[in-house]
Chain A
Amino acid sequence: MMSPNRRKNANLLPVAKIFTAIVVLVTIGGGSLYYVDAKNELHRCGQRKKELERELLAISTRDEVVTSRIAKMSSFDSLRKRQIVDKEAFARLTPVADTLVVRMPEPAAAPRETQVRTVSNLQPNR
């Protein structure tokens, strides 16, 4: 026969210990799951980063292609060739004839604010 004290001891559930164990296990499990999720997120971010890098490269490449094409089309060489092929359409750029140039003397410099100036006493005709 088992003594009453021993029975009492044998039937007792170690609730505190079980609770501690559950908490520990949940914490470890949760932490692990979070770790896995974080790791996956890291991979997803990495993939997104790679995609963005690819897009950025594609855009900068397109930009370079267009810049290069603009430079070619607006170059002096290209304009000269176009002028030879299509004299009429090329902005009709003709050198200004010397007879059409009005040459003006250099303007006299305006006197400074503090400079003493002569005053004209001429009266307008009445």
Chain B
Amino acid sequence: MGVSSRKRALWLGGLMALGFTVFSWRLLDLQVNRADYYKAIATEKHCARQTIYSRRGAVMDVNGVPLASNEPVKTVVVDASVVKRPEILLELLSKHLQIPLGQLQEKLTRQKWDATENKMRPAPYIVIKREVPEQVAEALRTEAASKNVRGLVFEQDSVRVYPNGDMLCHVVGFVNRENKGVEGVERSMEEWLKGHDGFRYSEHDRTGKEMVAFRRMERPARDGANVRLTVDMVLQDIVESELDAAVKQFRPKMITCIVMRPGTGEVLAMANRPHYDLNQREGVADESRKNRAIMDMIEPGSTFKVVTSAAALDCKLVRPETSIYCEHGRFMYGGTTLHDSHHGYGDLTVNDIVVKSSNIGVAKLGIMLGDQRLYEYIKRFGFGDRTGIQLPGEIGGIVHSPRSWSKISITHIPMGHEVGATPMQVISAMSTIANRGRMMTPQIISSISDSSGAVLASYPPVEVRQVVPPEVAEPLVSALKEVVSKKGTAPLAHVPGFEVAGKTGTAQKTSPGGGYERGKYLVSFAGFLPADKPELCALVILDEPIPGNIPYYGGYIAGPIFSKIAQRAARHLNLVPKTEFLKVGGSLVENKRGSGQ
């Protein structure tokens, strides 16, 4: 081999080595250095992320009656880029979806700028209608298939439905378009109800069809948990029907009723008027959406006298039989005159002060207690603080500290004036007395379970505190029993077969400009039965009822409503009636009620 051929061979070898080096470097660059970049491009082209939607959990009553559930619906979408016979498609859509042809035509002629072809093209994604029922979508799909119409896409969706419409509306609440709880349990239990969407990465062929065999990472959707309430829909139905009857009879501005189990604090029923249909919420006034049981602040009136009496008894300032002079109905204090609303009384025992609902008697008990002690007991009964019920928007009410009390506050607060309380706080205080001084947290959620029924969380009764000892609560219960007798202010609250204990309330409404409004009252009755072993405690409040020829007192307006509710509720709860309590004071209460007293 000559020198020149050897050189040529070296050159050739060198060039080949260089070429291979360049290719190797390029290979390394593609496979190692820029691997992630190209992998991402390839993945984007062939691999898609599919969302697996979760279902929102259901809300049900204590017996499993559904209160909020999901209904599958379809969103009808048109891909205008593949539509071949638009006139048939238009006709089909108009016929099945009840949309005017003109409106549809306007939608279908929408165009979108295509950057790759540099021109306008028919839009590939036009939403025609949302929340189309399954049957309608199925009929449309079948007819479109038979007529060989292309371009129709049906996307799976779901809507929240409330089978009971307006019943328990303030408690259940509703969701917005994004399926997020806005009010009621739907909002307070959002974290449990909402569920978590899953996802799946899978490869697609060049036509865009999923290649199931090449599915990659997958995380299944986790459905929302089911929330079980403490509410019993049979009791709720009883309450709602009686409130409807009361609205017809008294035409009040609002009514609120809460039924509670005193031993556990479970809310068995809760209803307000005005109310609204959860399935037709458009145009509903804010006032109708308000859950007045926990959001309305009222002056509790005479029902509050149990708090003052319990405080005076617990401080051992008086005994039930201690006599208090009630000034024959006119008591001058701090430059103002305090009146007794029913009659003027001379000497009354503490027991009778509660039975007769004497303002002067209870004001004197307040004076005996003094500012600080009275304030402490009010707070111990839970006024001025949220009760902690699992509903959103609860307010704490207003209880001013003694520093800001006026000279006459000590005579007004004991009878339930100058105190802002929610109906929930009032029934909670009455339940505390019924429960012999033991205060329980009001509960509306019973348990949380998954779709298989396994309990994820339960809410056992929670004791807040022993407000007063049973020895103090017991004589108070005796006094409250007498309230529902011929001697007391609420004989019409009697429930045949049961011994009822309770307290009436008739509070003049406060004026926004200060003072009280003449002729505008808030009447209430809070009671429980059987008095010796309470199974249910109920509160009925009516705002500005029009009583007709019935006296304007809680015992005459709210008392009979309580009686009707309690009578039907006792039957449902299987409470055993006792023959000795069939009558009150020797005459049947039914006769009195019939006469319109």
**Does chain B have a CB within 8 A of A87?**
no
When distances are taken between beta carbons in the complex, the residues of chain B under 8 Å from A98 are 496, 590
Contact A65 B134 (CB under 8 A): yes
Question: Chain A interface mostly helix, strand, loop or mixed?
Answer: helix
How many angstroms between the C-alpha atoms of A61 and B568 in the bound complex?
Answer: 39
How many angstroms between the C-alpha atoms of A71 and B163 in the bound complex?
Answer: 6
**Does chain A have a CB within 8 A of B327?**
no
Residue from A45, A61, A65, A103 in contact with B579 in the complex, judged by beta carbons closer than 8 Å:
A103
Contact A76 B233 (CB under 8 A): yes
Residue from B65, B161, B167, B579 in contact with A72 in the complex, judged by beta carbons closer than 8 Å:
B161
**Does chain A have a CB within 8 A of B315?**
no
Residue from B66, B210, B568 in contact with A71 in the complex, judged by beta carbons closer than 8 Å:
B66
**Does chain A have a CB within 8 A of B321?**
no
Nearest residue (CB) in B for A61 is B72
When distances are taken between beta carbons in the complex, the residues of chain A under 8 Å from B568 are 95
Contact with A along B551-590 (1 / 0, CB 8 A): 0000000000000000010010000110100000000001
Given contacts A71-B66, A72-B161, A80-B241, contact A65 B212 (CB under 8 A): no
> What are 30 A-B interface contacts by the 8 Å CB criterion?
A43-B213, A45-B212, A45-B213, A46-B211, A46-B213, A50-B212, A61-B156, A62-B134, A64-B70, A64-B71, A64-B158, A65-B71, A68-B70, A68-B163, A71-B69, A71-B163, A72-B163, A75-B163, A75-B165, A75-B167, A76-B233, A76-B237, A77-B163, A80-B237, A80-B241, A96-B571, A98-B496, A103-B497, A103-B577, A106-B576
How many angstroms between the C-alpha atoms of A57 and B154 in the bound complex?
Answer: 13
Within 8 A of A (CB), among B63-106: 65-66, 69-72
Give A53 Cβ to nearest chain B Cβ, in Å: 8
Contact A68 B237 (CB under 8 A): no
**Does chain A have a CB within 8 A of B308?**
no
Contact A76 B134 (CB under 8 A): no
Given contacts A64-B70, A76-B237, contact A46 B212 (CB under 8 A): yes
Contact with B along A72-104 (1 / 0, CB 8 A): 101111101000000000000001101000010
How many angstroms between the C-alpha atoms of A11 and B501 in the bound complex?
Answer: 123
**Does chain B have a CB within 8 A of A47?**
yes
Interface size grouping (class) on chain A = 20 to 34
**Does chain B have a CB within 8 A of A67?**
yes
Contact with A along B201-213 (1 / 0, CB 8 A): 0000000001111
> A-side interface residues toward B, CB under 8 Å?
42-43, 45-47, 49-50, 57, 61-62, 64-65, 67-68, 71-72, 74-78, 80, 95-96, 98, 103, 106
How many angstroms between the C-alpha atoms of A84 and B211 in the bound complex?
Answer: 56
> B-side interface residues toward A, CB under 8 Å?
65-66, 69-72, 134-135, 156, 158, 161, 163-167, 210-214, 233, 236-237, 241, 496-497, 568, 571, 576-577, 579, 590
How many angstroms between the C-alpha atoms of A77 and B236 in the bound complex?
Answer: 11
How many angstroms between the C-alpha atoms of A65 and B138 in the bound complex?
Answer: 13
When distances are taken between beta carbons in the complex, the residues of chain B under 8 Å from A50 are 210, 212
Give B542 Cβ to nearest chain A Cβ, in Å: 22
Give A103 Cβ to nearest chain B Cβ, in Å: 6
When distances are taken between beta carbons in the complex, the residues of chain B under 8 Å from A64 are 70-72, 158
When distances are taken between beta carbons in the complex, the residues of chain B under 8 Å from A76 are 65, 164, 167, 233, 236-237
When distances are taken between beta carbons in the complex, the residues of chain A under 8 Å from B66 are 71, 75
How many angstroms between the C-alpha atoms of A42 and B212 in the bound complex?
Answer: 9
Given contacts A64-B72, A68-B70, contact A77 B134 (CB under 8 A): no
How many angstroms between the C-alpha atoms of A113 and B166 in the bound complex?
Answer: 54
Given contacts A75-B164, A75-B165, A103-B497, contact A67 B69 (CB under 8 A): yes
